[in-house]
Amino acid sequence: MKINPADLHQVDVLKEAPLEDLKLIVEKSILRSVEEDSFFFFQGDPAKYAYILVTGRVKLVQSNPAGQQVNLRTIKEWELFAALGAVRPDATYPVTAQALESSSALVIESKLLRDMMQTRPYLNIGLMQLMTGYIQEMQNRYRELATEKVERRLALTILRLASQIGIKSQGQIELPLSQQDIAEAAGSTIFTVSRTLSEWEKRGLIETGRGRIVMRNPHGLVKIAEGIESS
């Protein structure tokens, strides 16, 4: 598979980049492919590389010493992730990147991005906006965990994931995620998620299947997320 440098304009951080810079990034990088459930990197590894997802989907999960996992974010195609090393040379990855399906990513040396940042203001601004967005999202999720009931938190999680990787079709939105993926993202148990989704399915809000959730009535989930309607 050959990467067209112009395709990198789809990456938010690089949308203002001149074509010469995009050609440099492609020339100095490699394309790496992994199979479903395989890993691009592990939590605690040195952050020597940044990644741009070209095909597939990847989840960023964080584990505690007991092995419990939280899905912090799901990455879609043409999204930059794991760029900590571009900002801090001694950084380690705070998450593990696991493919939800067969995926490929452009692997960029963090040092290359650091060197480019010295003379490319657009790159500094783009990375700052990316990091700020992550911080705001984490603050919102912390507030949800601390203050919201599980049903409302689950609705907020599904809506957030739908905005990130949802597939829209005929007024419905499909999430290609399992109930375990949803539980990790919501900071809940698979039992609670399964019970709640089953109740929502009976009410016609969603439809569940193997490795997917279809939002049949997105507005109904918005009402639960906003606390207008109880689940």
Could you tell me if 230 and 224 are in contact, meaning their C-beta atoms sit under 8 angstroms apart?
yes
> Of the candidates 126, 123, 97, which has an alpha carbon nearest to the alpha carbon of residue 112?
123
Check whether 48 has a pLDDT greater than 90.
yes
CB-side neighbour CA atoms (13 Å) of 34: 18
Regarding whether 136 and 104 lie in a shared domain, the answer is yes
- Decide if 123 is inside a domain: yes
- What pLDDT is stored for residue 168 in this prediction? 84
Strand, helix or coil for residue 102? coil
Regarding whether 125 and 52 lie in a shared domain, the answer is yes
pLDDT band at 230 (very low <50, low <70, confident <90, very high): low
Distance CA 187, CA 225 (A): 16
Choice between 137 and 76, residue whose per-residue pLDDT is larger: 76
Pick the most confident of 7-11, 59-63, 144-148, 223-227.
7-11
Regarding whether 167 and 136 lie in a shared domain, the answer is no
Please state the domain count of the chain.
2
Could you tell me the CA-to-CA distances from 152 to 160, 200, 230 in Å, in that order?
12, 12, 8
Helices within the chain (DSSP H only): 19-28, 84-87, 110-117, 121-147, 150-165, 179-186, 190-202, 218-225
- What pLDDT is stored for residue 103 in this prediction? 97
- What pLDDT is stored for residue 42 in this prediction? 96
Here the CATH number for the domain that contains residue 201 is 1.10.10.10
- Percentage of the chain beyond pLDDT 90 is 63
pTM: 0.74
Check whether 123 has a pLDDT greater than 80.
yes
Regarding whether 192 and 122 lie in a shared domain, the answer is no
Regarding whether 166 and 112 lie in a shared domain, the answer is no
- Domain with 162, as residue range(s), is 149-225
Angle between helices 218-225 and 150-165 (to 10 degrees): 130
Regarding whether 177 and 135 lie in a shared domain, the answer is no
Residue after which a domain boundary falls, among 78, 112, 144: 144
- Decide if 230 is inside a domain: no
> Of the candidates 137, 88, 86, 87, which has an alpha carbon nearest to the alpha carbon of residue 112?
86
Regarding whether 220 and 124 lie in a shared domain, the answer is no
Which whole number is the average pLDDT over 142-162? 83
- What pLDDT is stored for residue 91 in this prediction? 95
Regarding whether 210 and 111 lie in a shared domain, the answer is no
Residue after which a domain boundary falls, among 109, 144, 179: 144
- Decide if 189 is inside a domain: yes
Which whole number is the average pLDDT over 128-151? 81
- 171-222 pLDDT per residue, tens: 789 988 889 888 888 888 899 999 999 999 999 999 998 888 999 998 899 9
Distance CA 54, CA 47 (A): 19
